[in-house]
Structure 1
Amino acid sequence: MSELETEALKRKERLKLLKSKRAIDQENTSAEQGKQPEKPKLKFRSYNPQTESLKETKLPKAKPNAVEPEIQDVLKSAKDNDIGDVNLANLAPRKVDWDLKRDIAKKLDKLERRTQKAIVEIVQSRLAGPKEGEIDLAAAVAIAGKEQTEYDSD
């Protein structure tokens, strides 16, 4: 016999074993199927069934727990605390974009510092006087005012 023939025989035996295991498993499952699994029991809390057999499964109405003692404790503790201790800002609901503002706060601070520096530089340059070729801001405003009065008088 060649190697191929021996491998084929081994494969056939493995297949027979698998088929016999499958047949045994099927017999076990068919025997178990004879026993019906228990169905879940219905519990009706808010539904009032119409049939008599289902009315038996209806649960009794739930009674609420007494909350008066708990409320009394809360009221006593509220009287003990001053209203001045309560921070009203914490009670108000947050705006929708509060997390976005929180996330970009550092960037906005950096931009604010840069903006302030730029404003200071502009003011210093204007106070130093006009450079060559530039018109003084006050002179430009005066010229524009004169032109406006001449236009209005016509």
Structure 2
Amino acid sequence: MASEEDSIEQAAAARRERLKALRAAKELLSTPDEDSVPSENKAEEFDDAEEENKLNMKFRNYLPHDTHLQEGKVAPPVLPKFEDPVASAPPQPEKVEDPFVNIAPKKPNWDLRRDVQKKLDKLERRTQKALFQLMEEQERQNQTVAEENGEIISAD
């Protein structure tokens, strides 16, 4: 068990050393070297740093109370003139009719027709069938009369 504790402590110590090395490398990368940035005039660097610290604010929709900030007010944009050819010609007024004038009433027997329609359809089929039977019967009578008279009738 002692060997396990020793190995755990060694691993923890190794991890601490790696973290320290990473922190040191990060600090070295974040701080600029004076040798790597060639500068001829230190006053120019100071002015640049001062300009970066100064805020440049622009206000489009807000007018601040402070006079220094009012200088940052941006003028509203000027929109170009645009004439819409469709909107320029007013639509011609159409003659509006009263919708209640053209309402046609239903026929007084519409409900009776609706209720009796099935029976009428059945009767129509029977009527057609009866007419067909009468036609066949009449045709047979014509053939018998023609045979008695000796006439030859071809069946079409």
- TM-score interval (norm. to shorter): 0.3 to 0.5
**Which of these two proteins has the greater Rg computed from alpha carbons?**
2
Structure 2 length as normaliser, TM-score?
0.33
